[in-house]
Structure 1
Amino acid sequence: MSAAVADRPLPGAKVAVQPFFLAGSLYAVLMMAFWVPWFLGFIQAPSAWPAQAWFLHELAFGFAPVIVAGALLTASAGDTSRKPVSGAILVPIFLLWIAGRIGMGLSAHLDPWTMAALSVAFPIVLAVLAARVLPASGRWRGLAIVALLLGLGAADALFHYEMFEFGRTKSAADVALAFALLLLMIIAGRVVSSPKRRPTIFYAACGFVVLGAVLTALGVLWDDYDFASAGLNAWTVGSIGTLALAIATWASRARRSPTAFGTIVLYVLAVISGLAATAGGLYPQWTLPLLPISGIAWIAAFAGFAVLYGRSVSAGSSADSSS
């Protein structure tokens, strides 16, 4: 496949970018704005879980899957012989995702199994939908995405079980992070199939993956909590944040160039957020200034995406509907 063909705007881009990418960016803003002061002890939350467990859960099972949904349903129109996923079918899927987020936010007032069902349902439904779409073109490697989505749903169920039984996660957090990162990395490779055209944010995201692995390995080797915490932050705020932003901007390239100055600023902010969070884990005595810096940069990056891409996406959708 030539670079020109690989970089051509996806035919179905106007279908699924709304509402998933825009909702994902807005949820990223709300999630970080809520979590940072909660984690630092400035506010209380109506959640049955501690701040760190809630944030990790929502990053892996709330934020990452909605970005995957936007990219997956966008790409389906160009990658298969079937009609793009559009119209009324997107509404219940989107509402299901919202229900899961509300359930997690108000978990102190919900039955734990109801909360779990609301959360687990979205990746499972998305996997079923992907199973219908991806194999239609004969690209069976797309089934790896289906398997990972099902695995993500199973990891979500395990996450809820461990929190209910033990009040903390034992293995579910690691499994969740692994599935979320693998999904985003595979989706990133599908969205931009030409390495020559990939923006630097993709390589920054890969750098965070490596950095997280090194720091985590050192944490295990030296039995050092600070290194392990820094590795976790590199994988979550660093890798997941930058990968999600890269996917969302590149899949939306039919509306705005991912190399435009404003988009580059978003990438820089995402990298700053990841670095500050990683440093905050490595140097806990500096958590108070570094975590808010990370949060502000993250919020600015994803709010910036909503501003730069949200209006043009809406305009593009309106134009399509009238054509």
Structure 2
Amino acid sequence: MNAPDTADHLKNENTKTRKPVPRGLKMTGPVLFSYGFRPFFLGAGIWAVLAMLLWILSLTLGMPLGGSYDALNWHAHEMLFGFGSAVLAGFLLTAVPNWTGSLPVSGTPLIILAGFWLAGRLAFLYPDLIHFYAAIALESLFLPLLLVICAREIIAGKQWKNLKVLIGVTILTIANLIFHYGVIFDGDVAFASRIAVSAYVLLIMIIGGRIVPSFTRNWLNRNQKTRFPVPFNRYDAICIIIGAFALLSWIFIPETMVTLLLACLAAVMHIARLIRWRGWETAPEKLLVILHIAYAFIPAGFIAIALSAADMLNAYSTLHILTVGAVAMMMLAVMGRATRGHTGNALTASPLTILSYTCLIASALLRPFAEIILNYFHTILALSALLWIAAFALFLIEYAPMLLQDRRQRAE
């Protein structure tokens, strides 16, 4: 049998009799728009490389990136709401049909949705060109459209338990508007950035907490292992709740004792949660190991939040531990796995994939030190950025052909 892919593990318990959605379904037009993961994973990979290159050029050559929006704000926005939202869209548009048993969004509707995402990226390169406020309005349309599409499908399919995933998308949509508001009125986007990062972390705690142990269990079972990850239970629910409260505290009162204590508690609980998944036993399969490593940056991020609350760590270092370590790494891992599963390729990490993971891990570990070792700020920043670019360039080299070609037929 073909190994199950990412979306298969997010089916609800009451879908046992529902017919599976065809993988790589192609309706009309180019294969790129036959399934949500194809244009958005490809777009995310390309934008991860281009946006970082443009950011480096802005720092080194003074290129007027972002116009009146300011280059620093542009960089933060495009990582959180440009790159990140594309990965999220690709994942949800692939997962939702598996939850509901409906056909995936494809063809013209998918082209239109992807067009809104692309238009937002182009408009924000220099928003003053079409008018500052018009560019913001255009860019702000994509996430609400994605939210409406996913909500409609989940509600129509009566998958009420999966509505909680849309909480994260809703928070992200609101965070984008607050980010724009901050740029327009006072230039402070730290609050909005914390909201956006927290939305992604919440989604990883919820969705990652389902797919990581599920993938791990399946792999261990295929390899005749007898000890499996602990199934989702009350402890996992408590972990998510404590983590959510810690994130809320970090958003609104980041430099307080309350945040420090909640973050410490969340870190300990999520370390224990990760241990319960027995990730060390998956060492031979790097496609699985990277999921555990990415999730490990969640408790690392909570430790960073606690240190920041105690004034022992720079706020930017904290932010990058979560964004590069937890969010981007989980996104890279899921994009690769989902692409392989939905295009008929083997669910195993190639040497190129492993090198991509290695580059991003190195970038995640190195980036926080830019604000800690200030004498080497620019050197560390440049090296971390180059490692980021290398990670996603390697992803494109290997996975772009898969995303642009019809699904391979494998023997059952």
Q: TM-score range by the shorter chain?
A: 0.7 to 0.9
Please say if 1:242 is aligned against 2:329.
yes
Number of the residue aligned with 2:92: 72
**1:7 positional shift:** 4.7
What CA distance in whole angstroms lies between the structure 1 residues aligned with 2:390 and 2:56?
Answer: 14
With over 3 angstroms needed to count, the CA separation of the structure-2 counterparts of 1:52 and 1:212, relative to structure 1, is farther
Distance 1:180 1:39 in 2: 27
8 Å CA contact 1:280, 1:287 repeated in 2: yes
Q: Does 1:134 align with 2:223?
A: no
| Residue from 339, 348, 351 that aligns with 1:261 | 351
Is the 8 Å Cα contact of residues 339 and 402 (structure 2) preserved in structure 1?
A: no
Task: Provide TM-score, normalisation by structure 2.
Answer: 0.70
Question: Aligned to 2:216, which of 178, 195, 218?
Answer: 195
Tell whether 2:305 aligns with 1:284: no
Separation (CA, whole Å) in 2 of partners of 1:99 and 1:7: 30
Task: Give the secondary structure class of the aligned counterpart of 2:387.
Answer: helix
Which structure has more relative contact order (CA 8 Å, sep 6+)? It is 1
Q: Which of 89, 94, 100 is residue 120 of structure 2 equivalent to?
A: 100
**1:256 Cα deviation (Å)?**
4.5
The Cα shift of 1:13 comes to 4.9
Match of 1:303 among 368, 393, 398: 393
| Alignment partners' CA distance in 2, 1:31 and 1:134 | 33
Contact 1:233/1:281, CA 8 A, preserved across alignment: no
1:298 offset after TM fit, Å? Answer: 1.0
How far 1:144 sits from its partner (Å)? Answer: 1.6
How many angstroms does 1:260 deviate by? 2.3
Decide whether aligned partners of structure 1 residues 8 and 285 sit closer, same or farther in structure 2, where only a CA change above 3 A counts. closer
Q: Distance in 2 between matches of 1:9 and 1:218?
A: 36
Q: Which moved more, 1:299-308 or 1:162-171?
A: 162-171
> In the TM superposition, what is the alpha-carbon distance from 1:6 to its structure 2 partner?
4.7
- Counterpart in the other structure of 1:212: 301
Is the 1:266–1:302 contact (alpha carbons within 8 Å) kept by the matching residues of 2? yes
Shift of residue 249 of structure 1? 0.6
- Cα distance in 1 for residues equivalent to 2:179 and 2:210: 28
Question: Whole-Å Cα distance in 2 between the matches of residues 243 and 18 of structure 1?
Answer: 18
Aligned equivalent of 1:44, options 64, 67, 75 = 64
Distance, in Å, in 2 between the alignment partners of 1:201 and 1:52 is 30
Amino acid at match of 1:36: I
2:232 equivalent to 1:145? no
TM-score scaled by length of structure 1: 0.87
Question: 2:318 and 2:22 mapped to 1: Cα distance?
Answer: 36
**Deviation for aligned residue 1:296:** 1.3
Q: Partners of 1:180 and 1:104 in 2: how far apart?
A: 22
Unpaired runs of 5+ residues, structure 1, are: none
Contact 1:216 1:230 (C-alpha < 8 Å) held by counterparts = no
Which residue pairs with 1:230 in the alignment? 317
Offset of residue 164 of structure 1: 0.4
Structure 1 pair 115/183, CA: closer, same or farther in 2 (3 Å)? Answer: farther
CA-CA distance at 1:281 after TM superposition: 2.5
Change (3 A) 1:79 1:5: farther
After TM superposition, list the pairs within 5 Å mapping 1:150-165 onto structure 2. Answer: 150-165=170-185
Q: Hey, what's the Cα distance between the residues in 1 that align with 2:22 and 2:86? A: 17
Question: How far apart in 1 are the matches of 2:189 and 2:58?
Answer: 19
For the aligned residues, what is the CA RMSD? 2.6
Residue 284 of structure 1: how far off its partner (Å): 2.2
- C-alpha contact 1:191 1:247 (8 A) present in aligned 2: no
Aligned residue among 302, 310, 330 for 1:221: 310
> Is contact 2:65–2:74 with CA below 8 Å preserved after alignment?
no
Distance in 1, Cα, partners of 2:176 & 2:102: 30
**Which deviations, in whole Å up to 9, do the C-alpha atoms of 1:242-270 show, x marking residues without a partner?**
01101101111223534222211111111
Q: 2:173, 2:189 → 1: CA distance? A: 16
Percent of aligned pairs sharing the same letter: 29
Change in Cα spacing, 1:237 to 1:28, as seen in structure 2 (3 Å) is same
3-state DSSP class of the match of 2:349? Answer: coil
**DSSP-derived class of the 1:45 partner:** coil
Distance 2:101 2:5 in 1: 19
* Structure (1/2) with the larger helix percentage: 1
Contact 2:6 2:337 (C-alpha < 8 Å) held by counterparts: no
Q: 1:47 to 1:13 in 2, by over 3 A?
A: farther
Deviation string, structure 1 residues 176-212 (Cα, Å, up to 9, x no partner) = 2211332355444565533334712222222223223
Q: Which runs of 5+ in 2 are unaligned?
A: 9-20, 25-34, 220-286
What secondary structure does 1:48 align onto?
Answer: helix
Task: Determine helix, strand or coil for the equivalent of 1:194.
Answer: helix
